[in-house]
């Protein structure tokens, strides 16, 4: 069932050329959390920053939308490390929102894995996490304890990896080599290879990697870096922003405005302006040229170097070659569900469900992608946002929402890519509805009491991701987090083109906090020595 109506949940001010109030010290292309973090931090240093967002609302994958009396978050399902003020993620959020963003804890059993016929809960707290796994795998206590130690060792190695992103080029190579010598030898190996040195129990390995959808690569393909960062990120539980994901942009934008900056929506950047070999501004879709000494792209490396950088720009060929060395991350579909009753009455949990047909993640994924009609869905992720957000019942009384995410390659929907959003025809809608019904059945299998309770649902596809977020293949995590990706020294804030910088999830890693750290690194790259107090405040505390 779909009744497409415009959303009214909008954050940011609509762009008009006559609303520009330059000169600006920096222009940020895109209002994802990485771009907003950069703009916010620079604003707190007294810079006047302009953020340009082509969507009708700011926030990138942290935006929310409402329709038919319901509200959903498009990309934020839970955040880790928000329960203690000393964590870097919490310090950074408090800094960029002036402490206005509040967090609600999920259940201690924050992730529930259904692997074949087996149910395994991931429980908040290192000891509780280990104890719960040991109940299921009593002969694997040593492997589980060693695994947790591995996560800690990766965490200790990351400052060197992070710092290498912003030190001058002449020092970066030396720092990378020093980090590699001091880091564990498994740091950037494939996740499954690392875990198979700890145990040959494939069921345990499946349990330890049951969150692989958080980076989009099955464990035999992902780098242990991204696996360890995600697993440790949630080790003390999951948290949800009170008021929904849109509260992130709502609490950040006023900080940007305090220094005279602005966040414009409907602001379509067509090209980065290059003069005398330097980035000096942007050209808008309405032909307006906006100038600033720093241009910061939060649009992703494929958009930045493939679409926005003009053909005559210096180093265009260099970056074109580099783009051949990275891959776009997975694309997905998301089913947005509305129910006419409260989360409490419907007994919706503050726990995420991860549903897998078996423990062989790679084989299940490949079989499904090759023949989706004949094979079970290899990964079904179910989130209950209205249960997680304590303000939802007050804002939407007698209503509840559920979101279901599953693999959905762009190629499945490519035949409709050139048709306008909301007008892609009955055959496109039929294809979406067929998948939506399969996902609803996954929900009913685990929560049969919800059958007959669904009031409204609609499925987004990679075409939606392209339309709203400008990821042309629907890639939700930017770049694939393979070991090869983490060897790319050019994925850093400062580009070879003077005045042009990158920010967001392609700098470090995917995820809200990963993109925020990318935003912080870009701030430090732009500000130089003036950024040292900020670096100390966030990294040291």
Residue 176 is predicted with a pLDDT of 63
Of 236, 253, 272, the residue that ends a domain is 236
Tell me, yes or no, whether 1 lies in a domain: no
Does residue 142 sit in the same domain as residue 213?
Answer: yes
Does residue 260 sit in the same domain as residue 190?
Answer: no
* Cα–Cα distance for residue pair 376/357, rounded to 1 Å: 7
Tell me, yes or no, whether 3 lies in a domain: no
Spell out the per-residue pLDDT of the chain, length 541, in tens.
Answer: 444 444 456 788 999 999 999 999 999 999 999 999 999 999 999 999 999 999 999 999 999 999 999 999 999 999 999 999 999 999 999 999 999 999 999 999 999 999 999 999 999 999 999 999 999 999 999 999 999 999 999 999 998 889 889 887 656 666 666 666 678 999 999 999 999 999 999 999 999 999 999 999 999 999 999 999 999 999 999 999 999 999 999 999 999 999 999 999 999 999 999 999 999 999 999 999 999 999 999 999 999 999 999 999 999 999 999 999 999 999 999 999 999 999 999 999 999 999 999 999 999 999 999 999 999 999 999 999 999 999 999 999 999 999 999 999 999 999 998 888 878 889 999 999 999 999 999 999 999 999 999 999 999 999 988 878 888 888 989 999 999 999 999 999 999 999 999 999 999 999 999 999 999 999 999 999 899 899 888 888 7
Is 269:282 a contact under the CB 8 Å cutoff?
A: yes
Of 236, 270, 297, the residue that ends a domain is 236
Does residue 266 sit in the same domain as residue 368?
Answer: no
For the purposes of burial, counting CB atoms within 10 Å of the CB of 75, is it exposed (0-12), middle (13-18) or buried (19 or more)? buried
Phi/psi-derived region of residue 518, left when phi > 0, alpha when psi is between -120 and 50, beta in every other case: alpha
Q: How far is CA 128 from the centre of its chain?
A: 27
Tell me, yes or no, whether 371 lies in a domain: yes
Q: Tell me how far CA of residue 198 lies from CA of 8, 203, 374, 438, in angstroms.
A: 51, 13, 35, 37
* Cα–Cα distance for residue pair 493/503, rounded to 1 Å: 6
Centre a 10 Å sphere on the Cβ of residue 268 and count the other Cβ atoms it contains: 13
Residue 5 is predicted with a pLDDT of 43
* Cα–Cα distance for residue pair 515/33, rounded to 1 Å: 6
Tell me, yes or no, whether 108 lies in a domain: no
CATH number for the domain harbouring residue 271: 3.50.50.60
**452: CB partners within 8 A, 6+ apart:** none
* Residue of 259, 184, 271, 172 lying closest to 491 (CA atoms): 172
* Residue of 252, 240, 191, 243 lying closest to 220 (CA atoms): 191
* Cα–Cα distance for residue pair 408/334, rounded to 1 Å: 9
Does residue 341 sit in the same domain as residue 464?
Answer: yes
Percent of the chain with pLDDT over 90: 87
Is 346:450 a contact under the CB 8 Å cutoff?
A: yes
Does residue 376 sit in the same domain as residue 429?
Answer: yes
Q: What is the 3-class SS of 460-504, one letter each residue?
A: ECHHHHHHHHCCCCCECCCECCCCCHHHCCCCCCECCCCCEEECC
**4: CB partners within 8 A, 6+ apart:** 67, 422, 458
Does residue 405 sit in the same domain as residue 498?
Answer: no
Q: Tell me how far CA of residue 267 lies from CA of 31, 53, 135, 237, 437, in angstroms.
A: 11, 5, 54, 37, 36
* Cα–Cα distance for residue pair 472/476, rounded to 1 Å: 10
* Cα–Cα distance for residue pair 539/534, rounded to 1 Å: 8
Of 212, 236, 260, the residue that ends a domain is 236
Q: What is the DSSP letter of 331?
A: B
Q: To the nearest 10°, report the CA torsion of 199, 203, 207, 208.
A: 20
Tell me, yes or no, whether 495 lies in a domain: yes
Centre a 10 Å sphere on the Cβ of residue 170 and count the other Cβ atoms it contains: 7
Does residue 215 sit in the same domain as residue 247?
Answer: no
Is 34:516 a contact under the CB 8 Å cutoff?
A: yes
Q: What is the 3-class SS of 41-96, one letter each residue?
A: HHHHCCCCEEEECCCCCCCHHHCEEEECCEEEECCCCCEECCCCCCCHHHHHHHHH
**By residue range, what is the domain housing residue 267?**
13-67+87-97+243-325+488-540
Q: To the nearest 10°, report the CA torsion of 292, 293, 298, 301.
A: 120
- Its sign, for the CA torsion 73, 74, 80, 86, is negative
Does residue 35 sit in the same domain as residue 140?
Answer: no
* Cα–Cα distance for residue pair 356/361, rounded to 1 Å: 8
* Cα–Cα distance for residue pair 379/422, rounded to 1 Å: 27
Tell me, yes or no, whether 2 lies in a domain: no
Does residue 400 sit in the same domain as residue 513?
Answer: no
Which H/E stretch holds residue 152?
helix 141-163
Does residue 219 sit in the same domain as residue 300?
Answer: no
**Burial letters for 118-146: b for 16+ Cβ neighbours within 10 Å, e otherwise?**
eebbbbbeeebbbebbeebbeebeebbee
Residue with tokens 């719960």: 132
Residue 4 is predicted with a pLDDT of 41
Does residue 499 sit in the same domain as residue 465?
Answer: no
Tell me, yes or no, whether 302 lies in a domain: yes
Per residue in 371-403, pLDDT (tens digit) is 999 999 999 999 999 999 999 999 999 999 999
Residue 198 is predicted with a pLDDT of 98
Please give the structure tokens belonging to residue 181: 């010598």
Is 470:303 a contact under the CB 8 Å cutoff?
A: yes
Residue with tokens 């908040």: 124
Calculate Rg over the CA atoms of the chain: 22
Residue 6 is predicted with a pLDDT of 43
- Its sign, for the CA torsion 359, 365, 367, 372, is positive
Please give the structure tokens belonging to residue 114: 């259904």
Does residue 138 sit in the same domain as residue 201?
Answer: yes
Tell me, yes or no, whether 425 lies in a domain: yes
Is 27:50 a contact under the CB 8 Å cutoff?
A: yes
* Cα–Cα distance for residue pair 178/181, rounded to 1 Å: 5
Name the packing angle between helices 224-233 and 141-163 (round to 10°): 100
SS3 507: coil
If one counts the domains in the chain, the total is: 3
């Amino acid at each position: 069932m779909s009744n497409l109506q415009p959303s009214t949940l909008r954050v940011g001010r609509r762009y008009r050329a006559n609303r520009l109030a330059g000169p600006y010290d920096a222009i940020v292309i895109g209002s994802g959390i990485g771009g907003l973090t950069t703009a916010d931090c620079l604003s707190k240093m007294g810079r006047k920053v302009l953020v340009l967002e082509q969507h009708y609302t700011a926030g990138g994958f942290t935006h929310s939308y409402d329709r038919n009396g319901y509200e959903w978050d498009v990309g934020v399902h839970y955040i880790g490390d928000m329960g203690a003020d000393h964590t870097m993620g919490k310090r950074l959020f408090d800094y960029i929102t002036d402490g206005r963003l509040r967090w609600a804890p999920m259940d201690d059993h924050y992730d529930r894995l259904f692997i074949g016929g087996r149910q395994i809960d991931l429980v908040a707290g290192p000891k509780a996490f280990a104890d719960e796994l040991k109940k299921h795998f009593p002969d694997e206590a040593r492997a589980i304890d060693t695994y947790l130690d591995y996560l800690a060792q990766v965490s200790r190695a990351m400052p060197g990896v992070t710092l290498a992103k912003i030190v001058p080029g002449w020092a970066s190579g030396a720092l990378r080599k020093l980090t590699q010598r001091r880091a564990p030898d498994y740091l950037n190996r494939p996740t499954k290879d690392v875990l198979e040195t700890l145990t040959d129990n494939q069921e345990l390995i499946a349990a330890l990697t049951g969150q692989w959808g958080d980076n989009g690569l099955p464990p035999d393909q992902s780098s242990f870096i991204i696996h360890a960062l995600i697993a440790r990120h949630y080790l003390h539980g999951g948290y949800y922003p009170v008021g929904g994901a849109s509260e992130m942009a709502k609490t950040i934008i006023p900080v940007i405005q305090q220094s005279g900056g602005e966040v414009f929506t409907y602001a379509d950047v067509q090209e980065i302006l290059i003069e005398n070999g330097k980035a000096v501004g942007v050209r808008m879709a309405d032909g307006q040229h906006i100038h600033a000494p720093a241009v910061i792209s939060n649009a992703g490396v494929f958009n930045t170097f493939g679409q926005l950088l003009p053909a005559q720009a210096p180093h265009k060929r260099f970056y074109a070659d580099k783009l051949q060395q990275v891959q776009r991350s997975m694309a997905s579909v998301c089913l947005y569900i509305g129910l006419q009753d409260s989360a409490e009455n419907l007994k919706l949990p503050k726990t995420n469900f991860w549903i897998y047909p078996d423990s062989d993640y790679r084989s299940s994924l490949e079989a499904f992608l090759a023949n989706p009609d004949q094979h079970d869905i290899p990964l079904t992720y179910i989130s209950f946002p209205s249960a997680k957000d304590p303000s939802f019942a007050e804002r939407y009384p007698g209503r509840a929402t559920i979101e279901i995410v599953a693999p959905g390659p762009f190629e499945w929907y490519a035949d409709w890519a050139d048709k306008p959003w909301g007008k892609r025809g009955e055959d496109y809608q039929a294809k979406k509805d067929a998948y939506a019904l399969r996902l609803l059945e996954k929900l009913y299998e685990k929560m049969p009491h919800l059958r007959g309770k669904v009031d409204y649902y609609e499925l987004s596809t990679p075409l939606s991701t392209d339309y709203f977020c400008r990821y042309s293949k629907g890639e939700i995590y930017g770049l694939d987090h393979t070991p090869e990706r983490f060897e790319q020294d050019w994925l850093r804030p400062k580009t070879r083109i003077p005045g042009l910088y990158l920010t967001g999830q392609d700098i470090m890693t995917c995820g809200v906090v990963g993109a925020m750290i990318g935003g912080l690194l870009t701030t430090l790259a732009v500000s130089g020595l003036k950024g040292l107090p900020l670096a100390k405040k966030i990294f040291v505390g």
